[in-house]
Structure 1
């Protein structure tokens, strides 16, 4: 049974009684939500064939400490509004009423007990959207097991292959070992990709990887692991949108954007491996205009 009492929801296992004080991540006893929106920039198989958008629910705080986080206002600083489980269920239903293609739960790990309760309440009132669990993959096996039967699509990051990178940029030296085990558990739950006739992903795992400046060979090792482990049974989303935000410039080599050569060499490696289920980005995506405005829209009762 997972709980916020003596919290061990994530690999930090900080053991905090979150009804009395915040955990390592910053979260307390209630879910905090920063933005509810129809997001048209998610992967195409999540936004609907007509591009209406994924129904994103951006949760505040995070169990990682990424120095380059574009969502640092909410992940590090906790900007957002606390909601009851009942209000969270209403938000899920409102996203469905807006025509969202999916319910996209962004950075949900530290609120899994509240989310599970809210899903139960929402489904009792007719909620039926596919549920997307969009996380940094820094997860415990117990938390992933608690999601069994509740999630249709897992959307984890796989940020690093090297301990040194994970330690310096996210304060999580065990990241690769933990994240790869978590992703394997996600795949065990939902299995290989299942697409609808219109191209929407009904069930499966999408693994995101953001190529970092100066780390193209590390990115290639990430792709190696994915391909060796899953073959073409998962979708990969290979991103070139790194933008040196937040405290990135304090770290050597991280204060610049990615070069075309760096990204293309990683794409070429994916092709050499024979990977076919892979989204790539074209053009200039490293721009702050793609960062959402976390103004609390959609969180308050409408």
Structure 2
């Protein structure tokens, strides 16, 4: 069957080994499945989020922080049955949730794994952690399986999204995707310990020299959703070797730039937000993709 799961519309036969833009066939490839403590506090908590990092990506941003897996350079091929086992193993380790990281191109086998694991006792929430470069029709397949959507909103400027993600249509695609995600999960719901059980957190990773577009992203999100979602404003951008051909990206975000964006969000009236203190910019949020737990 030809693949039209994502906005790239490759039309390749991934069932028979052809590679899409995502660089993967329909066989699940995962590079890590472990407790992850670097998500937003209501996702990681103290116990950790049960993060499954899938290999391949349908966006391929030039600055990707997880470039080795996005480019399908690492990872282990597994079955849907094994993925179901992984979900249950993470639950047994007291993960707060199952966190599906870059899952778009494996949506169909992931749904199969969720059916299997749910029948065998999976009870914790499922988090869909995505770039938001998603088709609404594909997202509709997930209704009833996902409790928390954790999408990015990377850009509102089509020229920037063309330059850094080869996707001038990203802004419109992401807007429609977020609307569908919100329709499915609605306003945030937390348990008595402040852990998110249902809802949407939209992440925005600030890029060097893109303050104007970052402000536009925050403005759009707040004017569209108000405090019915959480916005995560991130300063953790790390310039990796592959950005050398984009000199403007070959630096970290300055404290002044980030403060301007946070101050702008506050001035707009944003209350439901996560911000990162200055020290996080010096930390590495990139785990080892060594097939742990896979």
- Sort the TM-score into its range (normalised by shorter chain): over 0.9
- Aligned-residue CA RMSD (Å): 1.0
Tell me what 2:12 maps to.
Answer: 16
Residue 55 of structure 1 pairs with residue 72 of structure 2: no
Tell me what 1:166 maps to.
Answer: 161
Residue 76 of structure 1 pairs with residue 87 of structure 2: no
Q: Are the aligned partners of 1:134 and 1:156 in contact in 2 as well (CA < 8 Å)? A: yes
CA distance in 2: counterparts of 1:246 and 1:66, whole angstroms:
13
Tell me what 1:6 maps to.
Answer: 2
Q: Provide the secondary structure at the position in 1 that maps to 2:248.
A: coil
Equivalent residue for 1:31, pick from 25, 28, 31: 28
Residue 248 of structure 1 pairs with residue 239 of structure 2: no
CA distance in 1: counterparts of 2:37 and 2:272, whole angstroms:
20
Structure with greater proportional helix content = 2
Residue 98 of structure 1 pairs with residue 93 of structure 2: yes
Tell me what 1:202 maps to.
Answer: 197
* Aligned residues between the structures: 293
> TM-score normalized by structure 1?
0.95
Q: Are the aligned partners of 1:14 and 1:23 in contact in 2 as well (CA < 8 Å)? A: yes
Equivalent residue for 1:259, pick from 254, 259, 262: 254
- Structure 1 residue runs without a partner (length 5+): none
Alignment of 1:68-147 (within 5 A): 68-147=63-142
Deviations 1:26-50 (A, max 9, x none): 11121100001100111100123xx
Q: Are the aligned partners of 2:8 and 2:21 in contact in 1 as well (CA < 8 Å)? A: yes
Q: C-alpha displacement at 1:230, in angstroms?
A: 0.3
Q: Are the aligned partners of 2:154 and 2:204 in contact in 1 as well (CA < 8 Å)? A: yes
Q: C-alpha displacement at 1:288, in angstroms?
A: 6.3
Q: C-alpha displacement at 1:246, in angstroms?
A: 4.0
CA distance in 1: counterparts of 2:286 and 2:68, whole angstroms:
11
- Structure 2 residue runs without a partner (length 5+): none
Q: Are the aligned partners of 1:69 and 1:246 in contact in 2 as well (CA < 8 Å)? A: no
CA distance in 2: counterparts of 1:206 and 1:147, whole angstroms:
17
Q: Provide the secondary structure at the position in 2 that maps to 1:208.
A: strand
Residue 214 of structure 1 pairs with residue 215 of structure 2: no
Q: Are the aligned partners of 1:67 and 1:246 in contact in 2 as well (CA < 8 Å)? A: no
Equivalent residue for 1:150, pick from 145, 148, 159: 145
CA distance in 1: counterparts of 2:283 and 2:28, whole angstroms:
27
After the TM superposition, list the runs of 4 or more consecutive aligned residues in structure 1 that deviate by more than 6 angstroms: none
Q: Provide the secondary structure at the position in 1 that maps to 2:15.
A: coil
Q: Are the aligned partners of 1:26 and 1:78 in contact in 2 as well (CA < 8 Å)? A: no
CA distance in 1: counterparts of 2:288 and 2:219, whole angstroms:
35
